[in-house]
Amino acid sequence: MNLYVSNLGFNTGDEELKNLFLPYGSVSSAKVIMDRVMNKSRGFGFVEMPDDAAAAKAMNELNGTMADGRSIKITEARPREDRPRNKW
């Protein structure tokens, strides 16, 4: 299951995000999305866990908890929508 994690602290990196979910089971990937220009966290990321039951448990138990001084929000990630690219 792919999870969307929002309201991350700006000091949270990939490894910290992964470590947050590891107590619930195996983590295939954990990625904090970075601003390309500023090279800083955009405050959200994605965690992929191969076991759907473990992912659901992590989502239910971690949603609303504090991480890096912020109350994180976790939902199941939606597929990325196709959108037109800027032509500039």
List the CATH number of the domain containing 11: 3.30.70.330
- Identify whether 21 is part of a domain: yes
- Identify whether 82 is part of a domain: no
pLDDT digits (tens, 9 = 90+) for 4-17: 999 999 999 999 99
Give 85's pLDDT tier (boundaries 50, 70, 90).
Answer: low
- Identify whether 56 is part of a domain: yes
- Identify whether 87 is part of a domain: no
pLDDT of residue 83 exceeding 70, the answer is no
Q: How many domains does the chain fold into?
A: 1
- Identify whether 63 is part of a domain: yes
Give 80's pLDDT tier (boundaries 50, 70, 90).
Answer: confident
pLDDT digits (tens, 9 = 90+) for 30-76: 999 999 998 899 999 999 999 999 999 999 999 999 999 999 999 99
Amino acid type, 59: M
H helices of the chain, where? Answer: 14-21, 52-62
CA dihedral 34→38→39→45, nearest 10 degrees, is: -10
pTM for this entry: 0.87
Residue 10, domain extent: 2-76
